[in-house]
Structure 1
Amino acid sequence: MKVLFVNASPHGENSHGYRLAREMLGTLKKSARAETVERDLAAMPLPPLTQDYARAVISREPDTRAFDVSEQLIREIETTDALIINTPMHNFTVPAALKLWIDYVLRIHRTFAATPEGKVGLMRDRPTFVIVGSGGFHCGENARQRDFLTPYLRYALGSIGLHSLHFLLLQGLIRGDDAAAEALEAARGEIARHALFASDALAI
């Protein structure tokens, strides 16, 4: 199998979510056929959308060279069997780096079709794990702020055909090592319950 890892955390290896994603990839690599493709949006930022890209999106006969970055990112998804996204919550939603990635992969006539009922995804569904790191709490009884990230990602990724989303919430990270350890333990428990990480699945 082939797994795409998209990192949007500017903290890199110091990110709890980044290290958790690496654990997940290590588990999957126990299968001899596991292969990883990594896209680090923080270490290697994507170029901003240009006027040429905007013009090509709405053109009947676009200059396809404007889609080079978009095509590369879309193919990275198309050629993988699972997707892991590590992202912090910045100001209640996704960071700018991840939003730009989304703007490139959501492309009319390529990853979704516009219909009277709304966008219909053209991509094959696959297990998608989204690790969300936040200093505070946005879910559960300790929630003190709104969460626009998870519903946005669920809708945006769903619009291109990715519906099998699993959110792993690492909340309260500014509360110290004990809070981080508790959040990671809960996330690992959720991961272990998913069929993709079952020992019998890895042995195939």
Structure 2
Amino acid sequence: MEKILWLISSPRGDASVSQQAGNKVIELLTHRYPDVQVVVRELVKNPVPFIDTEFAEKMFMTAEDALNEPSLQVSETLIAEVVDADAIILSTPMHNFTVPAPLKAWIDQVVRADRTFKRTPVGKAGLLKDKPVYILVASGGIVLGDDATQPDFLTPYLKAIFSTIGIHDISFAHLERAGAEKASFDTILNNLRAELEIVWG
């Protein structure tokens, strides 16, 4: 593994549970791959622009033509980061049952017809190479199992998004009750690291 793309979409900075969990993942991977390069994309500190009229008019350009189109430069940069990465780590909270706005802005710049997916008679087909994606989701409530207290639209949505562009090797770690006491959450993070030792070993 030569390059990891780490996407951070929490507004809470260092206090973010999903970001703390992401640190655990990065620590594990950099220990296993000492020479790996970690590209960090902080979507709140450095927000991705929402798509606009000019983008919508130019978005179907080929990759070659897009390189010279100012309105697509951000999109091309973000797509290149995904293409170049051997693995992607995504740290995100769940906002109102789904992805936060900064992450949605990134998605809209990356999921582009004739660039990261193509349209076929049976639906969209991804154009990117498959690679492992590990998604760390922090939620204030319980979203899994019989004890769930709120719906989870984030998980199926992100599965569909990455699959659309050709990435199917997707794993999730749900960090529920993110407002729990620090001691109990430290235990959750330590357990996560133990699980990652098995997955990424």
Q: Structure 1 stretches of 5 or more lacking a match?
A: 199-204
Identical positions, percent: 37
Select which of 186, 191, 202 maps to 2:196: 191
Pairwise CA distance, 1:177: 2.4
Partners of 1:144 and 1:191 in 2: CA distance:
27
Q: Which residue of 1 aligns with 2:103?
A: 98
Deviates more, 1:113-122 or 1:178-187: 178-187
Q: Which residue of 1 aligns with 2:34?
A: 32
The question of whether the paired residues in 2 share the 8 Å contact of 1:8 and 1:41 is answered with yes
The question of whether the paired residues in 2 share the 8 Å contact of 1:172 and 1:179 is answered with no
Pairwise CA distance, 1:179: 4.0
State the AA in 2 paired with 1:13.
D
Count of aligned positions: 196
Partners of 1:14 and 1:59 in 2: CA distance:
40
Give the alignment's Cα RMSD to 1 decimal.
Answer: 1.8
Q: Does 1:41 align with 2:58?
A: no
Deviates more, 1:141-150 or 1:67-76: 141-150
Partners of 2:167 and 2:8 in 1: CA distance:
18
Partners of 1:166 and 1:75 in 2: CA distance:
22
Partners of 2:152 and 2:30 in 1: CA distance:
33
State the AA in 1 paired with 2:53.
Q
* 1:25-75 CA-partner distances (Å, limit 9, x unpaired): 122222232110010001111122121001112579877322100000000
Secondary structure of the corresponding residue to residue 33 of structure 1: coil
Q: Which residue of 1 aligns with 2:13?
A: 12
Partners of 1:57 and 1:75 in 2: CA distance:
15
Q: Does 1:86 align with 2:91?
A: yes
The question of whether the paired residues in 1 share the 8 Å contact of 2:129 and 2:167 is answered with yes
Q: Which residue of 2 aligns with 1:55?
A: 57
Q: Which residue of 1 aligns with 2:125?
A: 120
Partners of 2:24 and 2:183 in 1: CA distance:
19
The question of whether the paired residues in 2 share the 8 Å contact of 1:168 and 1:190 is answered with no
State the AA in 2 paired with 1:175.
A
* 1:119-149 CA-partner distances (Å, limit 9, x unpaired): 1000011110000001100102321111000
Q: Structure 2 stretches of 5 or more lacking a match?
A: none
State the AA in 1 paired with 2:196.
I
Deviates more, 1:110-119 or 1:26-35: 26-35
**TM-score (norm: length of structure 1):** 0.90
Larger RCO: 1 or 2 (CA < 8 Å, sep 6+): 2
Deviates more, 1:133-142 or 1:171-180: 171-180
The question of whether the paired residues in 1 share the 8 Å contact of 2:9 and 2:44 is answered with yes
**TM-score (norm: length of structure 2):** 0.91
Pairwise CA distance, 1:182: 4.2
The question of whether the paired residues in 2 share the 8 Å contact of 1:4 and 1:76 is answered with yes
Partners of 1:128 and 1:64 in 2: CA distance:
30
Q: Which residue of 1 aligns with 2:163?
A: 158
State the AA in 1 paired with 2:69.
T
**Aligned CA distance change for structure 1 residues 39 and 59 (closer, same or farther; 3 Å):** closer
